[in-house]
């Protein structure tokens, strides 16, 4: 046995031990808060019992900034009662649309505030300037939104240590809500991009947002209302429940750490529950687009599925960034475990996105937080698949079991990534994965996809559990 082999074995043993310790810690924490059933391996199904399920909704998945940003701008411009915006960070000088007459976000909100109340709720930034947005930047943005306008902006500093308010919400008039991964800022990356992902820029940006109408909007609006009431000290009226707007069944799920807000003293972990139930229920396809993948609770379910697949045609497709803004090694560490569990059976495919036009070759940053299981379940929101998003940041996702909406979104995404018409990527998903996804990724010089390697797990495997134990109280 070589020295490197011995080191790998020791590292694997340490990684397993630390991840088990972190999982036990999370289990004790959730049990103490009355959320213990979330980690019950018997929990399956398309909806968590920890949040209302709303029928009569209409939802649309908006893919990339080219679709999402103009739709949100249109909603703000059409506001008749109010505009409520919550985010990780929003930049006053950010222009959500392009063109000669494009307004800055500050101008857009100030114009709307002449007609209706406009409330902006942003994270206050970390207590020490270790990462963006700094508190200085957050304070400056808040001040600039309100300068010479009727916009009211408030900063929320009720974060857990080394965590943040990460949800991205826009609610207008108790009629429409946008929930997804899109922030109104160019901080850490340009949100403007199209499904074509032109290569004439330093980096592409792939994201997704779900637009919702109907009764579920009241759940999103009430979440904003409760946060605003506690942070801003302003009482807002109960949201009006909209009339049915469609035929989709939709659920609003969240992460709220305990002891953060009076309205949820024991926290809310329905986003984690929603993911775990759906993944446990998977029979044929798990398709994940995410910025990170290092939650041991999530990967344990995927490991079990790969080692004991429901049937031989079971497939897992992961679309991840090549270099996440942080947590890259921990993502690769979990990917190495998943590749080992697949054991050469080619049920697992992990890829990243690139853009090239002959002269330029640039990465496309995967910022989307979207998942599809069996074309029977889909979620879109702000929650990454790490301990930050599933236990310690504030997060918001929408979930639906509308098979028509889900299939439409998946086909549009697959057409974008495979650079083929929707008609060519339609058909049995497993056949498309085997016939197009894998060979395209293996021939990366000609296609947008490229394989993600299972990088060494030594430093990477340990970073996630260690970080989780250090910052997760």
pLDDT at 353 (0 to 100): 97
Comparison of pLDDT for 173 and 468, the residue scoring more = 173
Q: Which residues pair with 118 in a beta bridge?
A: 83
Residue whose token pair is 């909806």: 47
pLDDT band at 467 (very low <50, low <70, confident <90, very high): low
pLDDT at 459 (0 to 100): 46
Residue-wise pLDDT for 40-81, tens only, equals: 999 999 999 999 999 999 999 999 999 999 999 999 999 999
Q: Are 203 and 294 part of one and the same domain? A: no
Residue-wise pLDDT for 185-223, tens only, equals: 999 888 999 999 999 988 999 999 999 999 999 999 999
Q: Are 280 and 311 part of one and the same domain? A: yes
Q: Give the long-range contacts of residues 35-44, CB within 8 A, separation 24 or more.
A: 35/266, 35/267, 35/269, 35/273, 37/273, 38/269, 38/272, 38/273, 38/276, 39/276, 39/297, 41/280, 43/273, 43/276, 43/277, 43/280, 44/277, 44/280, 44/281
Q: What number is the average pLDDT over the span 284-303?
A: 95
Say whether 172 sits in a helix, a strand or coil: strand
Say whether 377 sits in a helix, a strand or coil: strand
Q: What number is the average pLDDT over the span 450-460?
A: 62
Q: Are 87 and 184 in contact (CB under 8 A)?
A: yes
Mean pLDDT over all residues of the chain?
92
Residue at which a domain ends, from 224, 250, 276: 250
Q: Are 41 and 70 part of one and the same domain? A: no
Say whether 296 sits in a helix, a strand or coil: helix
Residue at which a domain ends, from 206, 229, 250: 250
Q: Are 42 and 100 part of one and the same domain? A: no
Residue whose token pair is 């330093």: 202
Q: What number is the average pLDDT over the span 282-309?
A: 96
Structural domain range at position 158: 54-250
pLDDT at 418 (0 to 100): 98
**Of all residues in the chain, what percent carry a pLDDT higher than 90?**
80
Sign (positive or negative) of CA dihedral 271, 159, 173, 106: negative
pLDDT at 446 (0 to 100): 85
Distance of alpha carbon 407 from its chain centroid, rounded?
19
Furthest CA-CA distance within the chain: 74
Q: Are 102 and 8 part of one and the same domain? A: no
Q: Are 173 and 79 in contact (CB under 8 A)?
A: yes
Say whether 140 sits in a helix, a strand or coil: helix
Q: Are 232 and 369 part of one and the same domain? A: no
Asked if pLDDT for residue 457 goes beyond 50, the answer is no
Asked if pLDDT for residue 463 goes beyond 70, the answer is no
Q: Are 66 and 7 part of one and the same domain? A: no
- 262, two tokens: 């009076």
Angstrom CA distances, 277 to 89, 274, 346, stand at 31, 5, 24
Q: Are 338 and 194 part of one and the same domain? A: no
Residue-wise pLDDT for 412-440, tens only, equals: 999 999 999 999 999 999 999 999 999 99
Angstrom CA distances, 243 to 1, 51, 72, 140, stand at 68, 19, 21, 39
Asked if pLDDT for residue 329 goes beyond 60, the answer is no
Range scoring the smallest mean pLDDT among 14-18, 39-43, 152-156, 181-185: 14-18
Q: Are 13 and 134 part of one and the same domain? A: no
Q: What is the value of pTM for the model shown? A: 0.95
Q: Show Cβ contacts of residue 118 under 8 Å, excluding neighbours closer than 6 positions.
A: 79, 82, 83, 85, 109, 110, 112, 150, 151, 152
Q: What number is the average pLDDT over the span 167-177?
A: 98
Q: Are 135 and 267 part of one and the same domain? A: no
Asked if pLDDT for residue 331 goes beyond 90, the answer is no
pLDDT at 138 (0 to 100): 97
Q: Are 141 and 263 part of one and the same domain? A: no
Count of domains for the chain: 2
Asked if pLDDT for residue 2 goes beyond 50, the answer is no
Q: What number is the average pLDDT over the span 447-456?
A: 79
Q: Are 324 and 246 part of one and the same domain? A: no
Range scoring the smallest mean pLDDT among 52-56, 83-87, 190-194, 462-466: 462-466
Query: What is the spatial distance between Cα 90 and Cα 74, in angstroms, rounded to a whole number?
Result: 17
Comparison of pLDDT for 140 and 466, the residue scoring more = 140
The DSSP secondary-structure symbol of 129 reads T
Asked if pLDDT for residue 241 goes beyond 50, the answer is yes
Asked if pLDDT for residue 328 goes beyond 80, the answer is no
Angstrom CA distances, 189 to 268, 327, 366, stand at 30, 17, 11
Residue at which a domain ends, from 250, 265, 287: 250
pLDDT at 336 (0 to 100): 84
pLDDT at 327 (0 to 100): 47
* CATH number, position 373: 3.30.870.10
> If you write DSSP's letter for every residue of 405-440 in order, what string do you get?
HHHHHHHHHHHHHHTS-HHHH-S-HHHHIIIIIHHH
C-beta atoms surrounding 377 within 10 Å: 25
Sign (positive or negative) of CA dihedral 403, 390, 270, 219: negative
Residue-wise pLDDT for 358-384, tens only, equals: 888 999 999 999 999 999 999 999 999
């Amino acid at each position: 046995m070589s020295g490197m082999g011995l080191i790998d074995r020791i590292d694997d043993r340490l990684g397993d031990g630390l991840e088990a310790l972190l999982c036990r810690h999370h289990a004790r924490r959730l049990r103490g808060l009355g959320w213990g059933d979330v980690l019950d391996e018997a929990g399956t199904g398309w909806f968590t019992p920890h949040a209302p399920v709303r029928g009569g909704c209409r939802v649309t998945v908006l893919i990339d900034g080219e679709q999402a940003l103009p739709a949100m701008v249109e909603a703000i411009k059409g506001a008749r009662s109010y505009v409520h915006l919550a985010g990780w960070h929003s930049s006053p000088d950010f222009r959500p649309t392009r063109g000669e007459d494009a307004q800055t976000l500050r101008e857009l909100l100030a114009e709307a505030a002449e007609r209706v109340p406009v409330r902006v709720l942003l994270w206050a930034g970390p207590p020490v300037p270790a990462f963006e947005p700094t508190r200085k930047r957050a304070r400056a943005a808040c001040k600039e939104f309100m300068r010479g306008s009727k916009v009211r902006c408030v900063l929320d500093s009720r974060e857990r240590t080394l965590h943040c308010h990460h949800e991205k919400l826009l609610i207008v008039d108790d009629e429409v809500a946008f929930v997804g991964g899109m922030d109104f800022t160019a901080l850490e990356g340009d949100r403007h991009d199209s499904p074509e992902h032109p290569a004439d820029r330093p980096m592409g940006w792939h994201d997704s947002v779900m637009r919702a109408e109907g009764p579920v909007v009241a759940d999103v609006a009430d979440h904003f209302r409760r946060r605003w009431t506690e942070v801003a000290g302003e009482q807002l009226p109960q949201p009006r429940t909209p009339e049915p707007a469609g035929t989709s069944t939709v659920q609003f799920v969240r992460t709220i750490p305990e002891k953060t807000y009076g309205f949820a003293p024991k926290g809310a972990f329905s986003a984690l529950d929603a993911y775990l139930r759906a993944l446990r229920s998977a029979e044929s396809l798990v398709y994940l687009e995410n910025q990170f993948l290092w939650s041991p609770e999530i990967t344990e379910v995927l490991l079990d599925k790969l080692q004991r697949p429901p049937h031989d045609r079971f497939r897992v497709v992961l679309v991840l960034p090549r270099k996440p803004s942080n947590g890259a090694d921990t993502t690769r560490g979990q990917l190495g475990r998943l590749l080992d569990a697949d054991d050469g059976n080619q049920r697992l495919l992990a890829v990243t996105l690139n853009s090239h036009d002959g002269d330029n070759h640039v990465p496309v940053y995967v910022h989307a937080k979207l998942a599809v299981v069996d074309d029977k379940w889909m979620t879109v929101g702000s929650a990454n698949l790490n301990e930050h998003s599933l236990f310690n940041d504030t997060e918001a996702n929408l979930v639906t079991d509308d098979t028509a909406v889900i299939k439409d979104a998946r086909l549009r995404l697959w057409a974008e990534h495979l650079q083929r018409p929707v008609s060519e990527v339609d058909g049995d998903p497993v056949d498309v994965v085997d016939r197009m996804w894998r060979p395209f990724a293996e021939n990366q010089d000609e296609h947008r996809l490229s394989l993600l390697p299972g990088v060494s797990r030594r430093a990477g495997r340990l970073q996630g559990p260690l970080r989780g134990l250090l910052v997760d109280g």
